Amino acid sequence: MTEIVKVPDYTASPRQTLFHTSTAFERFYGGAAGGGKTAALVAEAVTRCLEYDHYAAYLFRRTYEDTKKTLMREIDKQCRAYIKDGNMIFRSQEKGYYFTATESWIYLCYYNHEDDFNHYQGSEIHMLGIDELTQFYESWYDNLVGRVRSDDPDKPLTVFAAGNPGGVGHGWVKTRFIDAAPPEQIIYDKRPYVKRDGSIDYIETTRMFIPATLEDHPSASFRQSYMRSLLTMADPKKREAYLYGNWDLFAGQAFSEWRRHLHVVEPFNIPDHWPRWMAYDYGRGTYAGAVWLARDPISQRIYLYREYYVSGKGPRAQAREMKQLEQSNEQLPVRLADPSLWKHIANADDGKTIADRFDEEEIGRASTSRPLITTGFKESLLSMKRCLWRQTDCHTCRYSVTVFILSVPYRVSWLTLNDPRTLIQQVKTISTMHCATGLSMSVRRQLRILCLSLIRGCSAMEGIMGSLPIKN
């Protein structure tokens, strides 16, 4: 009697099933540790190589040693009998598994340095799978996604990724997948493509985040043993991140008091009588940032309701774009900016300053200000009882309170928080932290910033601002 071999030897949980069956082009399965992410990646690659002829699945980790310890081990676990029968052959020279029936491949790959992309420059990837995506830089991810292609319409092209909070890629992964939409909801983006004849075609791209927790792992014994290990961890931030997949709290965060459920509110329309102002910090070679804020005159709370962030554009273009974001009836009697705008020459030919360029675009003259961020951040955040901002589309929800994901330093956890002057200088030196500078410039005139949640390892800043009575 012929023995029936199950390949892959894998049973998907409901969350893993969604990861496999979603129609999104990019799918990210992640969050808490132990959710069966590696198993899901391997099972998807094996299934596709069994189903399609001449299929190429590329599975990545940062190093080849990591690949052998995790991906190769999982492949052997799911396909042991199939490999033993000679239906899957590992070929060391190609660093991959060859499927004899379909002539398909699973390649075990690594990407640890910029030059490693040279190995895959000419590759035709049908399925791209990246384990521990938060260990990758966004530019590396983009390089690999750009190799996902085929002239065979019958071959499904998909990007699968998995990972946990933290790591060098935490920020961009969080921005791209976590903050962009609620979990398990496909994000649709239409990207313009200019044809040779000048006409524009729009291509729809899709991506989706599927949250994973330890409870999603199919093995009860694994869940119990791994739960014990995670609860043994001494670092409460890591423990919470790994247990619950908390993307707002991870190792290296300067202010671990941030909690989305506490410090975020639903959007609401800002009353017309609330005072509003704008703060701006110029940048062209790096980044420029502007923030619009409003104050509740009763509670004295400050709300950030719009953000502008750009690189590579001159002052005139920036002024025009910021003006377009504002409503025609929006009252902004105060605009704050870095004093250097009145000193730096925008054009050597006419000697006009950056501020002159803004005046020419009739965006309004700003007041100069260079305050310091106040201390007491952590205590104020802990005392917050109400939420302050909510993420929405900053280009459409112009009159609603929003929480904005602002660019931040790649690493700021070492900043000397006891000396706010050092904080400002180091933030300005190591990063394109213009929006934070814009916030700081708005402090002296209108409020005291109670907290800026500066997060290491990400491309986003989520801040909490509470208010005290306005200074005299």
Q: Is the dihedral of CA 419, 425, 430, 432 positive or negative?
A: positive
pLDDT band at 140 (very low <50, low <70, confident <90, very high): very high
Q: Is 374 helix (H, G, I), strand (E, B) or coil?
A: coil
3-state secondary structure 398-445: CCECCCCCECCCCCCCCCCCCCHHHHHHHHHHHCCCHHHHHHHHCHHH
How does DSSP classify residue 168? Answer: T
The per-residue pLDDT for 461 is: 29
3-state secondary structure 198-234: CCEEEEEEEEEEEEECHHHCCCHHHHHHHHHHHHHCC
Q: Is 459 helix (H, G, I), strand (E, B) or coil?
A: coil
Burial 105-139 (b: 16+ CB within 10 A, else e): bbbbbbbeeeebbeebeebebbbbbbbbbbbbebe
**Mean pLDDT, rounded, for 360-389:** 43
pLDDT, tens digit, for every residue of 423-455?
333 333 323 334 444 444 443 333 333 222 222
The per-residue pLDDT for 238 is: 77
**Residue in this structure with the two tokens 């991140």, named with its chain if needed:** 241
The per-residue pLDDT for 348 is: 63
Nearest CA among 268, 313, 266 for reference residue 286: 313
The per-residue pLDDT for 62 is: 95
- Range with lowest mean pLDDT among 7-11, 173-177, 180-184, 383-387: 383-387
Nearest CA among 279, 299, 302, 301 for reference residue 289: 279
Give one DSSP letter per residue of 77-146, joined into a string: HHHHHHHHTTSEEEETTTTEEEETTTTEEEEEEE--SGGGGGGTTT--BSEEEEESGGGS-HHHHHHHHT
Task: Report the run of H or E that residue 169 belongs to, with start and end.
Answer: none
The per-residue pLDDT for 371 is: 30
Half-sphere exposure of 50 (CA within 13 A, CB side): 14
Q: 278 is written with which tokens?
A: 């704008």
- List helix spans (H) across 233-310: 236-244, 260-263
**How many C-beta neighbours within 10 Å does residue 441 have?**
24
3-state secondary structure 15-39: HHHHHHHCCCCEEEEEECCCCCHHH
The per-residue pLDDT for 67 is: 96
Which residues have C-beta within 8 Å of that of residue 15, sequence separation ≥ 6? 29, 35, 210, 211, 212, 216
Burial 161-193 (b: 16+ CB within 10 A, else e): bbbbbbbbbbbbbbbbbbbbeeeeeebeeeeee
Most confidently modeled range among 75-84, 251-260, 343-352: 75-84
Nearest CA among 155, 152, 160 for reference residue 21: 160
Mean pLDDT of the chain, nearest integer = 74
Q: Bigger pLDDT: 255 or 184? A: 184
The per-residue pLDDT for 263 is: 57
The per-residue pLDDT for 243 is: 81
Give one DSSP letter per residue of 344-372, joined into a string: SEEETTTTEEHHHHHHHTT--PPEE----
- Range with lowest mean pLDDT among 144-158, 195-209, 318-332, 431-445: 431-445
